[in-house]
Every structure is written in C-alpha cells, then in structure tokens.
Structure 1
Amino acid sequence: MEAKLAVKMMMLVMIVSACGAVPTTAPSQEELSRAQNYLSEFFSDVGVSPPNTVRRSSLDSFEDTLKKMQEFFGLTVTGKLDTNTLAVMARPRCGVTDVTRYGHFDGQPKWDKTVLTYRIIQYTPDLSESVVDATIAKALKVYSDVVPLDFKQISSGTADIMILFKAQEHGDFAPFDGEGGVLAHAYSPGEGAGGDTHFDEDENWTLTSAGANLFLVAAHEFGHALGLAHSQVQTALMYPTYQYVNTEGYKLPDDDRQGVQALYGVRASSDQPTVKPKPQPKPEPEPEPEPVPDRCSRNLIFDAAASIRRDLYFFKDGYFWKRSSSWDGISTRKVQSVWPGISKVDAAYEYKKDNKVIFFEGNQFWAIRGNTVLPGYPKPLSDFGFPSSVTKVDAAVHVPFISRTLLFVDYKYWSYNERTGKMDRRFPKYINRELPGIGFRVDAAFENGGYLYFSYGSTQTEYHYQRRRARRTLLNYAWMDC
C-alpha cells in the first residue's frame, strides 16, 4: 500500500513530572473526550470509546489503549486517566502514530533514486531567504552524511520534495491551526505529494531556542519525507515531541541513523581507503528522459480534464495528474503506463450510466471501462457523428441532468445525445453565443460539484450551466495543491 499519509509536525514540549500521581477527583467529561480523541489518533487504528460508556467492551478498549500509551511514555501503567497522563496528552506533538525504537511507515516506502531534488516555493518572512536555504540544506545534510543520498535544490519545476511556508488552509486538506499548535507536516516517499513538507507560517521561525527552531523542525520532518516514522527513544530526533537542543555540529542520533540506514544503506566514509577503478569503456549516452510537466506552473495549460469515478484527472503532454476525492494526494502517471495504445489525451469524459470513459486522441476515440479498452476500439471520429472536416476534439464534458455531452472543436461545439447515440440537430453552435462568459474556445472541460469548468490557456471559468452564467475565474494550477 502506497504510503500517502499526511503528517502533522512536532511541537514545543511542555515540561511535566514523570511520576504517576492519581488525581484526587475523577476526570471531567471534557478530559475524557480529549483522551478518547488522543488515543484514537495516536494509539489505535479503529478508535476507542470513553470509559464511562455502557458497553463493557468499550471500557476495556479504552483502558487497554490507555495502558499502551502510558507504557510508551514511561508513565505508571494504570489504565486510569491520572494527572500525569493528561499532562502528556496535552503536550504539543507530531501527528504520526507512535512506534518503538526507530520505525518505518507501512510498506517501508523509500525513494528509489540517489539524488533527490527539493524546491522552496514559498518562504517565511521571519528569516531571510538565504538563511532559510542554508538551514534547509543543513537539515538535509544530517541524512546525506550517513546514507548514500544527495540533495539538490532547484528553483523551478516540480521537485521530489516541495517545501512551503503557509498559514491555515494551504491546499492539502490538513489546514494549520494558528500559532502554538501544529508547526508543520510532511508526506512519506512516493509520487505526487510524497516527500512534500509544509511549515505553518503563523509560527515564529528562528534558529535559536526561542520560537520554533527551523533546523530541528525541518530535520525531523525530512525524516518522515525519507520514510522514517516515530521512535520511542527519547533522545532520537524522531521522538514524537520536540525539545530544543544545541544545533551546533549536530549529528543524527544513533537511533535515527540506524533507521534511515536500514532503508538506504550506509554511506561510504570519505576517509576510507579507496581502490582506483580500472578504466571502463565509455558507455553510449542514454537518451534524455522526457520532462514531466510542471504542475505548479502558474502558466499551466491542460490538454484535457475529466471527472472519473469521483476523482479529477488532468492531462498534459502524455502525462496525467490524478486528484483523489479521498485525498491520497496528487499522483503523476504516464498515460501509456495505464492505458497502453493511448499516448496523449486531447479530450475525455465519463458516462456513468454505462460505466465507461471516452478518450479522444487525434482523429480517433477509445471507450474504456476501468483500465481496459473495450473491444472494437479505437474508432474514427466519424463514428461519433463528426463531419470529415473534424480531425481533433479540443474538449469534452458530460452534463448529467440533460444526458448530453458537449464536444468542443475550435470556436464551435456539438451536443451528443448519450441515450440515442447521435448528435443533436442544429449543431454545431458558436461557443461564445450559446455559453456566454467562457470565451471563444475551450482547451479542457470537466464537471465537479454541480458546476462545469471550462479551461482555455492557463485560466478556467466556473460555470452554472442551467443559468448560463459564469461564476468566477480560476488559474488551472489551483487544482494542483501547490
């Protein structure tokens, strides 16, 4: 299972006693509720019920899980909600489930390359850009010092690790909560958002013991970005809670080093004797790989777009980005890797009644169910009812409540009746006359949340079809969670 877990960030620790005193009064309902939420999030896959519920099984589940939490943090294991247990639960912390010693995410995701790129797409005003650059590089170096990975900063395009500072909602369905709460979060290795690291701009970012120390926070989060989960070793960088330590000459603690080396191996020491290699024949240069389109470009232009099985698909130069409705992040794939025989998608739409998707490329179209091309395809555009003068479809979108599919070619569009399998009469019609407010041409179109979205160039129009009214204009890249 691909690990696409949105990770909350570690936070400033509150100093509490380590003994196991029991409160003199029973915990309040609010404390019980907070404890239930805490245990559900960090120590249970299915959640637990508060101890005052009627069912005995729920009481046992709560007590057992509470004991597991108390044992993890070295508290007196009572299964009771005592004052020290509540104090530990009140500590700001990282949002990943706790494990023992160093740990890896489910499936042990890791990068399958030795050079990882990173890009800071939005800086904090708390520190100068040059200081942020140097601090991020220093935080990554604690890992490249011990494993055979190298990190390269880039200033444009899509990097393996995209980094930004932003407050509140920032496009990944995990909004920050203001100063003093969650500091940042990161994603485990993988496609799309894998490795991406976000910092809460509402925090006070520093290089000292005051505020949130950027080096320590970043080093912890980059551990997640490389595949490390949390550790129970209190001196480990990947321990769930954060405490300031002197960062001068900082080296990765042993527990974290063992964890990351278990994934990537050991970096050869620079002071070890080396054997001079024998000269090898010069290999033939490999062809340059086809560049992946930059989904975060403000000038992003879509070839096609479609809503398919409640997910949004955006097509560009033989690739597509899938934005999952269940939020697994945004994945990037080559069209041919999923649908062999189709190299580039010019237009696409889903007809849910028949559980099929139609892809257009050049003067042909395919009908697909799941990832399987149906027998008899591809077919020529003339089978769709187009005249011979049409050699390419620019965009397509199905309008469910009228069971019509709108098909755009240059400055005109056709209306296809899905029930009869024929084009409607008196078409084509001019786009700007019949659909006022969206312009003269359409590159890509899709339906989402009851609205139609018509894209031309790098912008798109959110459209109310029944009222024939444009609601607002967006940039295409707004869907890319950049």
Structure 2
Amino acid sequence: MKSFLLLITLCGALTCALPVVQETEKVAEKDMEFAKKYMESYYPESDSTPVRRSRIIAADKIQRMQEFFGLRVTGKLDSSTLDAMKKPRCGVPDLGEYNTFPNSPKWGKRDLTYSIQNYTPDMHQADVDDAIERAWKVWSDVTPLTFSRVYGRPADIEISFAARSHGDYMPFDGQGGQLAHAYSPAFGGNAHFDEDESWTRDLQGTNLFLVAAHEFGHSLGLGHSNVWGSLMFPVYQPWDPQNLRLHTDDIEGIQYLYGPPEDDEGSSGNPAPPPKIPTEAPSTDLCNSDLAFDAVTTLRGETVFFKDSFFWRKHPSRSDIEKTPISAFWPALSSGIDAAYESEADDTVFLFKGHKYWATKGNIIQPGFPKNIHHLGFPRTVKKIDSAAYDKSSKKTYFFSGNKYWRYDEAKNSMEKGYPRKITADFHQIGSNVDAAILHNGHFSLFSGSNQYEFDSKTKKFLVMKRSNRWFGCL
C-alpha cells in the first residue's frame, strides 16, 4: 500500500511517458478493459471517491475525454474515441488548456543548469547534445530563462537514459511503451528517457528533440494542454523537427510562470500575467484584397485555410489567426494542397495533391496512404481535384475538378449516378471553376479567386458573395 500511495504521489508531480500506439484490439471486451485502464489513468476520480470496479465506463467520464481531445461528444466508447485513446501520449492525467502542476511550482531563479548523465547508443553523442540544447532553446526563446550545461558537478536538472526500473518508482516498460517522463520543479525537474526506444534525430524512430522539448516543459512547471497542436498536448506529435514553433497556448502557459523575455518587458523580474489573445486586426497579408486560397477544411473544431506552403488556423472562440508551415504538421506534405475535407465522425481529414490523396487523424497520416484519386471512381481524364466539401447531414462529399463536380456517397464508398455535372448548371453565380470549398452552417462556401460565393446546401440557391478574407474579419 505504501508503494501504491507513493506511486500516486509521484504521478501527480511527474510527467509520465509518451506511450507508443498499440495494435488495435479486435475483441470488444479487450477494448473495454483497455479503455477502463485508460480512463483510470488519465481521468481519475477525486481522491475522496472510493474506487469501484464496473463493467462499463460512466458516460460523463467519456464525455470529458472526448471534450479534451476535440472529438464528437457522444458519451459512448465509439471507434474515434478508442482510436484517440490508443495514440502516443504522456502518462499524467489530462487537465484543461495550458496548465501548471498543482500550486504552480516553478524555479525560483532564471539561470538554470542541466547535465547529461549518460547517452543512448542509438545516436551520435553530438546529435544528442544538439537535440537537448535545441529543446531548451524552445523555452528560453520565449522566457527570461537561460539553460547552461555543466559537467562533473550537480545540476538543477539531470537528464538520463534508462530502461525498466531505474530507481524512481516509475519503471519503463520496454520498447513500445512509455517514451519518457519528467518531474515538476517541486520534485527537481529531472527528465528520464526510455533506453528501450529507438531514438533518432529525424522521424524514422522517436525524435529525441520533440520528446525532450515536451518533457522540459514539464520540468519547468507546465502540465498538459487540451489544445491540439500545442507542444504540451499529451499526444506525441511527429512534426518536422526543423520547423517546430510553439503554439500560443504553450507561450501563454510558460510566460504565466516566468514572464516574457527581458527584451520584451525589461528586467523587472516579475512574471507577467497570462498574455491576452491579440484583438488587433489580422496581418496585412490576410487582409490583402487579392488573397485566394488553395483549399479550406474544418479540423477538430477549427477552420483551416491552405495557401502555398502554409495554412492558417481559425478557432471559433479565438480572434488570433495562426500561420503554420504545412510540413510542420504533415512532414510528407510540404506545399500545394489542392483540396481538403473533414469527416468529423471518423476524426479524419483527407488531403488531396495532384493525383494522390492522404487520410490523416490530427497530424498522423494513416497506414496505406497516399492512394490514387482514381480509386474513388474518378475517370482517368481527371488529373487532380480542385476542391472538396463534405456534407455531414447526408454523408455526401462534393468534389470539384475543372468545370465539373461529382458527389460521392461516403456510406456506400461510391460515386453517385448522374454525375459529373457542370458547376454552372447548379451553382449559377460562381462561374466554371472552384478553387476551394467548405460546407458550414448549412451553407456552401465556394471560393473562386479572391471571392467566396455562398449557396444554400439543400436548394443550391445563391445567397451572397463576399471577399474570401472576410473569414478573418477583414473589411
């Protein structure tokens, strides 16, 4: 019992490993057992609540998990929820947006030291040194903190590689399990990496820089965030390690503890309050009257606008617009997304480029992709898709290519009869080409050049024409 209580105490202060995705269970009973263990680990009851064994999981607990991950909130253990549970992630319970550990522990000084106790044989020592140094720089760039490596003497934060039991009551479980864990400042901030994993400088194995940057956030006092795309999101996200940029949520969290860099706020030494979300008008490139998009889609509650090698993310409850390199989220794709659409029920976004398309859950491209667009039933004369829009009420996807459009039945996995049709036959005002499309609040928004044309999704009646950048509040 003492060991169990100590383990619970440590998990409250410790950020535990990023589990590797396990093989999908084929037996419903095994899925239920897996889900029960997941909920007990990451969505535990309060300390005063007695532990009760049950064959089912309370719907409100599943709803909490679904809300945290931006899934469709059903309260049911559906396939999308199980898929999310099986993704790589950290082992501490999930909280809310940017968060700190209980009582917001932080370091009482700005100049911190670290030491590397040993090395993994998976990488050259110089590459390990570089990954660790760059991971610290992620946080020093947005705070007044400095991180200096020391040799042969005690350091504030010790970094080590270890396998299985390694003296902290939180043993690693071999390859395919937890990747790393780190303690909060209240418990010393040390970071441990599982030696049984395959550590790399790229994305062929587990990228050391990405995991270290996440764990060092915990070493500085940050808990987990429910903002998808943030570094402190509990799921390991294999971004392009050369293009990692901190999410606004990460910056707000760390600056709540330590304040902004001195160059920003002087050297008063007082931590800044959580920064306010910008309320000023969007940047001038967004408000350029000639702005046109390559593709538009929803993505876990946000609206995403693709242009060349970047995309902008617009959250319905936030006024800031985030610009991100496509390769930072999907390393296999660098630029030129032709079309995109989301199937919310499956938590899947489909991305089209030339004659290929990819299925991705979050930023993880699914096995078996890319595929050829002709597998969907397009004739060989169609070389690429210009735009796509999904109607979740009818489970039909509209594909636009050239001066024609098709309608695809997602339930039957086939093109509908009677298509293709001329775009001008049904969408009279837009002309013959659609650059981007999205179905939003019962309206088609079809983009052509710098204009968007709205139509009723059922009757296809023309409603209004606007500038494409009106989505960003531009006049």
Q: What are the Cα deviations for residues 381-407 of structure 1, in whole angstroms up to 9, with x where unaligned?
A: xxxxxxxxxxxxxxxxxxxxxxxxxxx
Residues 1:114 and 1:75: Cα distance change in structure 2 (over 3 Å): same
Q: Contact 1:11/1:93 (CA < 8 Å) preserved in 2?
A: yes
* 1:49 to partner: Cα distance: 4.8
3-state DSSP of counterpart to 2:113? strand
Residues 1:164 and 1:9: Cα distance change in structure 2 (over 3 Å): same
3-state DSSP of counterpart to 2:109? coil
What TM-score results when the alignment is normalised by the length of structure 1?
0.49
3-state DSSP of counterpart to 1:251? coil
Give the partner amino acid of 2:33.
S
Given the alignment, which residue of 220, 223, 239 partners 2:214? 220
* 1:12 to partner: Cα distance: 5.1
Given the alignment, which residue of 62, 69, 73 partners 1:66? 62
Give the partner amino acid of 1:159.
A
- Name the residue aligned to 2:130: 134
**Does residue 121 in structure 1 map to residue 121 in structure 2?**
no
Q: Contact 1:9/1:221 (CA < 8 Å) preserved in 2?
A: no
3-state DSSP of counterpart to 1:269? helix
Q: Percent identity?
A: 46
Residues 1:156 and 1:4: Cα distance change in structure 2 (over 3 Å): farther
- Name the residue aligned to 1:32: 32
* 1:147 to partner: Cα distance: 0.5
- Give the distance between the partners of 2:142 and 2:23, measured in 1 at CA: 32
Q: What are the Cα deviations for residues 42-77 of structure 1, in whole angstroms up to 9, with x where unaligned?
A: 11234865653xxxxxx6x72211111122122222
- Name the residue aligned to 2:146: 150
Q: Contact 1:49/1:62 (CA < 8 Å) preserved in 2?
A: no
Q: Contact 2:21/2:86 (CA < 8 Å) preserved in 1?
A: no
Residues 1:45 and 1:122: Cα distance change in structure 2 (over 3 Å): farther
- Name the residue aligned to 1:8: 16
- Give the distance between the partners of 1:15 and 1:140, measured in 2 at CA: 33
Given the alignment, which residue of 225, 243, 249 partners 1:255? 249
Given the alignment, which residue of 194, 198, 205 partners 2:192? 198
What pairs with 1:409-424 in structure 2 (closer than 5 Å)?
A: none
Residues 1:255 and 1:65: Cα distance change in structure 2 (over 3 Å): same
**Does residue 109 in structure 1 map to residue 117 in structure 2?**
no
* 1:268 to partner: Cα distance: 2.5
* 1:37 to partner: Cα distance: 1.3
**Does residue 43 in structure 1 map to residue 51 in structure 2?**
no
- Give the distance between the partners of 1:83 and 1:50, measured in 2 at CA: 23
Give the partner amino acid of 1:252.
L
- Name the residue aligned to 2:438: none
- Name the residue aligned to 1:234: 228
Give the partner amino acid of 1:6.
L
- Give the distance between the partners of 1:273 and 1:265, measured in 2 at CA: 10
* 1:250 to partner: Cα distance: 3.1
3-state DSSP of counterpart to 1:122? coil
What TM-score results when the alignment is normalised by the length of structure 2?
0.50
Q: Contact 1:12/1:241 (CA < 8 Å) preserved in 2?
A: no
- Name the residue aligned to 1:98: 94
Q: Contact 1:41/1:97 (CA < 8 Å) preserved in 2?
A: yes
Given the alignment, which residue of 172, 180, 185 partners 2:176? 180
Residues 1:68 and 1:216: Cα distance change in structure 2 (over 3 Å): same
Residues 1:273 and 1:99: Cα distance change in structure 2 (over 3 Å): closer
Q: Contact 1:3/1:106 (CA < 8 Å) preserved in 2?
A: no
- Residues paired across the two proteins, number: 257
Q: Which one has a bigger Cα radius of gyration?
A: 1
Q: What are the Cα deviations for residues 257-284 of structure 1, in whole angstroms up to 9, with x where unaligned?
A: 11000000010238x999xxxxxxxxxx
What pairs with 1:264-279 in structure 2 (closer than 5 Å)?
A: 264-269=258-263
* 1:84 to partner: Cα distance: 1.9
**Once superposed, what is the RMSD of the aligned Cα atoms?**
3.0
Residues 1:188 and 1:111: Cα distance change in structure 2 (over 3 Å): same
* 1:2 to partner: Cα distance: 11
3-state DSSP of counterpart to 1:105? coil
Q: Contact 2:163/2:194 (CA < 8 Å) preserved in 1?
A: yes
- Give the distance between the partners of 1:84 and 1:216, measured in 2 at CA: 25
Give the partner amino acid of 1:39.
M
Residues 1:14 and 1:36: Cα distance change in structure 2 (over 3 Å): closer
- Give the distance between the partners of 2:115 and 2:180, measured in 1 at CA: 16
Residues 1:10 and 1:105: Cα distance change in structure 2 (over 3 Å): same
- Name the residue aligned to 1:355: none
Residues 1:141 and 1:15: Cα distance change in structure 2 (over 3 Å): farther
- Give the distance between the partners of 2:116 and 2:78, measured in 1 at CA: 44
Q: Contact 1:163/1:196 (CA < 8 Å) preserved in 2?
A: yes
* 1:4 to partner: Cα distance: 6.3
- Give the distance between the partners of 2:259 and 2:11, measured in 1 at CA: 21
Q: Contact 2:182/2:192 (CA < 8 Å) preserved in 1?
A: yes
**Does residue 160 in structure 1 map to residue 168 in structure 2?**
no
* 1:169 to partner: Cα distance: 1.0
Q: Which runs of 5+ in 1 are unaligned?
A: 17-22, 53-58, 275-482
Q: Contact 2:106/2:185 (CA < 8 Å) preserved in 1?
A: yes
Residues 1:29 and 1:248: Cα distance change in structure 2 (over 3 Å): closer
Q: Contact 1:4/1:187 (CA < 8 Å) preserved in 2?
A: no
* 1:226 to partner: Cα distance: 0.3
- Give the distance between the partners of 1:51 and 1:261, measured in 2 at CA: 42
- Give the distance between the partners of 1:91 and 1:128, measured in 2 at CA: 29
Q: Which runs of 5+ in 2 are unaligned?
A: 1-8, 268-475
Give the partner amino acid of 1:111.
W
Q: Contact 2:20/2:178 (CA < 8 Å) preserved in 1?
A: no
Give the partner amino acid of 1:31.
D
Q: Contact 2:12/2:92 (CA < 8 Å) preserved in 1?
A: no
- Give the distance between the partners of 2:42 and 2:66, measured in 1 at CA: 12
Q: Contact 1:3/1:188 (CA < 8 Å) preserved in 2?
A: no
What pairs with 1:357-376 in structure 2 (closer than 5 Å)?
A: none
* 1:132 to partner: Cα distance: 1.1
